[in-house]
């Protein structure tokens, strides 16, 4: 009888184990973002982002320090500088999301650093530190030639997918948009709203974090060129966007216009072929609570501009300015008190 009881208890325990022991990636499922995500870099949002405070080793000849991620004039800045008295000769910044993201369209607006031996990047990554396989999708601008961008990706640590695209401009001279649409069977890469390359082999599958970093290489002179130790250097970022359903309205963020001077008119010149959706301040093709949240952040001066910086979209009462009245109108619309904006 005692033997039967012991066998019964053992069987019960084995049956119950799956209820208590689950792989770490499944535990992270609650931390996977499945809705549109737009981050405008007016300040450090510690609820969504983290500043790296460690070192990667390997080809990275720097330590990541939170002090090297700064915010100025609506931009997030990664700063590469000398490190004194530490294990590494240089310190720099890495900025990454706390949550994970899966298939969808990713976009950044950035200006790269220029100097032989360094990399300015925008990428998705997960790996052993997340108890996941090493999956990664890269957009990298090598400082030795900022008229090119390198695309690459890894699935379970297997890469070898490098592709160089000639930009037709110097990525260190002005801000441009770079993006990729990640799907089960392909990755499409974009520059300034134009699809420039598709990869179809060995596509990653694991939800990953969005990351940006600036770093000097060591032992990879054949790839990056020899770093001459020049500091300080910086890479600048204006925003990051993610749309799980793909490129919004079938078109990525339009090509940025050249720098402009102030004009008397507050109404921008319409872009040929563009469509205006009143209240869609994050550019995802719909008006919802996300737009309402962005309005509130703007009025509270948490951010200093909208992702879609166009008065035809943001000025809901057409008085030439953005104020609490616009927020009230949007709220009434979302509550279906008024039929349209």
Which positions are annotated as active-site residues? 136, 140
Cβ atoms within 10 Å of 274's Cβ, excluding its own: 11
SS3 category, 78: strand
Q: By the 8 A CB rule, do 94 and 51 touch? A: yes
Residues with Cβ within 8 Å of 290's Cβ and at least 6 positions away in sequence, in order, are 35, 36, 38, 282, 284
Q: By the 8 A CB rule, do 276 and 310 touch? A: yes
Q: By the 8 A CB rule, do 212 and 127 touch? A: no
Cβ atoms within 10 Å of 221's Cβ, excluding its own: 13
Q: By the 8 A CB rule, do 119 and 214 touch? A: yes
**What are the respective helix, strand and coil percentages of the chain, to the nearest 5?**
20, 30, 50
One-character DSSP codes across 147-171: TEEEEEEEBTTB----EEEE-SS-T
Q: By the 8 A CB rule, do 143 and 114 touch? A: yes
Return the bridge partners of 107, or none: 179, 241
- What does the alpha-carbon distance between residue 117 and residue 228 come to, in Å, rounded to a whole number? 7
Cα 77 to Cα 21, 258, 308: the distances in Å are: 41, 21, 21
């Amino acid at each position: 009888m005692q033997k039967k009881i012991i066998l019964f208890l053992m069987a019960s325990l084995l049956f119950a184990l799956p209820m208590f022991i689950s792989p770490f990636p499944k535990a992270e499922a609650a931390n996977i973002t499945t809705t549109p995500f737009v981050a405008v870099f007016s300040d450090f949002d510690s609820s969504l982002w983290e500043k790296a405070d460690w070192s990667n080793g390997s080809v990275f000849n720097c330590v990541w320090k939170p002090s090297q991620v700064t915010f100025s004039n609506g931009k997030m800045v990664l700063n590469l500088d000398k490190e004194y008295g530490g294990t590494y000769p240089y310190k720099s910044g890495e900025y990454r999301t706390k949550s994970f993201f899966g298939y969808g369209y990713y976009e950044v607006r950035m200006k790269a650093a220029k100097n032989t031996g360094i990399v300015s990047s925008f990428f998705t990554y997960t790996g052993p530190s997340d108890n996941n396989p090493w999956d990664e999708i890269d957009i990298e601008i090598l400082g030795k030639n900022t008229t090119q961008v390198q695309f690459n990706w890894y699935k379970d640590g297997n890469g070898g997918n490098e592709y160089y695209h000639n930009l037709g401009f110097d990525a260190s001279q002005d801000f441009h948009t770079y993006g990729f649409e990640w799907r089960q069977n392909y990755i499409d890469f974009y520059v300034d709203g134009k699809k420039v390359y598709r990869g179809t082999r060995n596509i990653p599958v694991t939800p990953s974090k969005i990351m940006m970093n600036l770093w000097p290489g060591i032992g990879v002179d054949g790839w990056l060129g020899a770093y001459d130790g020049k500091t300080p250097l910086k890479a600048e970022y204006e925003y990051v966007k993610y749309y799980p359903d793909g490129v919004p309205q079938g078109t990525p963020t339009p090509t940025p216009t050249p720098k402009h001077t102030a004009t008397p008119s507050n109404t921008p010149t319409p872009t040929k072929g563009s469509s205006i959706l009143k209240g869609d301040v994050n550019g995802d093709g719909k008006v919802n609570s996300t737009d309402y949240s962005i309005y509130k952040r703007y009025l509270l001066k948490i951010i200093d501009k909208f992702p879609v910086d166009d008065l035809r979209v943001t000025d809901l009462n057409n008085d030439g300015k953005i104020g609490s009245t616009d927020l009230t109108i949007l709220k009434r619309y979302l509550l279906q008190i008024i039929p349209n904006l």
